[in-house]
Each structure stands twice: as structure tokens, then as C-alpha cells.
Amino acid sequence: MDMKNYSRHEDGISYLVEKYLGELGPKSYSFEDLQSFTSNFSLSNKIGSGGYGEVYKGQFPNGMQVAVKVLSTKDVVEETFMAEVSTMGNAYHRNLIKLYGYCFDHKLKALVYEYTENGSLDKILYENYLRSSIKWEKLYDIAIQTAKGLVYLHDGWDEQIIHHDIKAGNVLLDRHLSPKITDFGLAKIMKRELNDITLSRTRGTQGYNAPKTWMPASRVTYKCDVYSFGMMLFEVLGKRNNGVGENWFLEQV
């Protein structure tokens, strides 16, 4: 494909994606908007990074704090981007992260979320200052509230959402340590009349994902999320990572 045709092809995809996303609730932001929110993606505002890209703390003009998740260009595909926006554009629950908007620009693909002061559950379990001081009653409460968010995804509306990547790193905690399930890039929406769906590719994180999800073309149900939630509970109880190799929980069992 020559550059002229490639550019035309890319513009066509961008138009279709924007048209689709425009029918949903989250607001569309420009690259310049996000530059303004994050002080031009200042390193001092960087609060996280991973295989997905980087997260920056930002602020709306009205003073409300947000988290801007900049997606790694090489990993962004329209299916993943739209899965996250379309899922979060329709789902509302106190234990799900709020998606305020998105940027689908040729310079940048990003998602704008509510800001959670205490970061992710895995950091609290293994790394930061709250590890030794957090009480078992609060960890129990975090587990119960996370389960309520998961029940909402599975049973709370007309269609069923399978998250496919439930883990401690995808549970964020606000200033009251209330959990918010996040990262819906692997999520699939399933019609109620279906008993299961076929995986197009391997989904989830090693140490959390159910054995059925290790192979593409497997048929899975929402129970793969329940399995992952169970693995997360073992981490909460032991305050340690399930790990891989000799530390992998399933291998030990």
C-alpha cells in the first residue's frame, strides 16, 4: 500500500471510530486538550506505566483531578480502544472507574479517567506505606466491593460484560480506599441469550487467567472472571504476588 492510499485508509478508519465513539457518552478531547490537562505530559505528573503505555495525573479547567492513560501506539488497535470506551460509556457503578472521555488523534490515543488517590491494590499489597497499616476489615471490604462491581458487569444490565483481566493491578482505590475496577481493553460484551463465546486470542494475565483462556478458540463464560477474582483473593490473603514459576499459586497447589 503506497503512502497516499495508506493515509486515506487511516483517515477512513479514524472517521469510522470517531463516528462510533461519538454515539456514546464519553467526551472527545483533542491532543491539545490533554496537553493542557497534564502540563504537556510533564514527567512530574507521570503516575504509572506499563505495557499499555503511561498514565499522567491531570486537571480539568474546573480544578477536578483526572488520570490520563496514554496508550502505546504500537499496541493500539481499534478493537481494543473501542472495547474500553464502549464498555465504560454504558456501564455505571460506584465500583467501576469513571471514564470521562477519550482522545483518538493521529498524534495520540488516550483515555481520561477519574483520578484515584491511592493507586492500585497491588501496590498497597506489596509496596507502599499502607501495606503494614491497612486493616483486615478494610481488605475484606475492598474484596466485597470489587465483587459487587464484578456482579454488576455480569448481571447488572441487558448484556453481559466479561472483563477478562481481573487482577489486583486493575483494582484502583480512591481516597476512601473504595475499589474501582479498571482496564476494559480486553472486555467482551456478550448477549444474554448466549451461553458462552469463542475467544479470538489468548486473554488475561498469567497467574490470574483461567486455564480455558490460555488457548485461542476456547469457549468461555463470565466464570473466567470469577476464577481471576479467586486468584486475586489469594493474593489479598497472603499479601504476596501469585507469581510465576516456583511462586505460581497453581503450581504450588
Active site residues: 165
In the chain, where does DSSP find H-type helix? 3-22, 31-37, 78-90, 121-126, 130-133, 136-155, 223-238, 249-252
Please, which residues bridge with residue 198 across strands? 219
Q: Parallel, antiparallel, or unpaired: how do β-strands 99-104 and 27-28 relate?
A: parallel
CA atoms within 13 A on the CB side of 94: 7
Instruction: Quote the Cα angle for 125-130-131, to 5°.
Output: 35
Residue 73 CA to residue 61 CA, distance in Å, equals 27
Q: Are 152 and 94 in contact (CB under 8 A)?
A: no
Is 27 annotated to bind a ligand? Reply is no
Residues that constitute the known binding site for ATP: 69
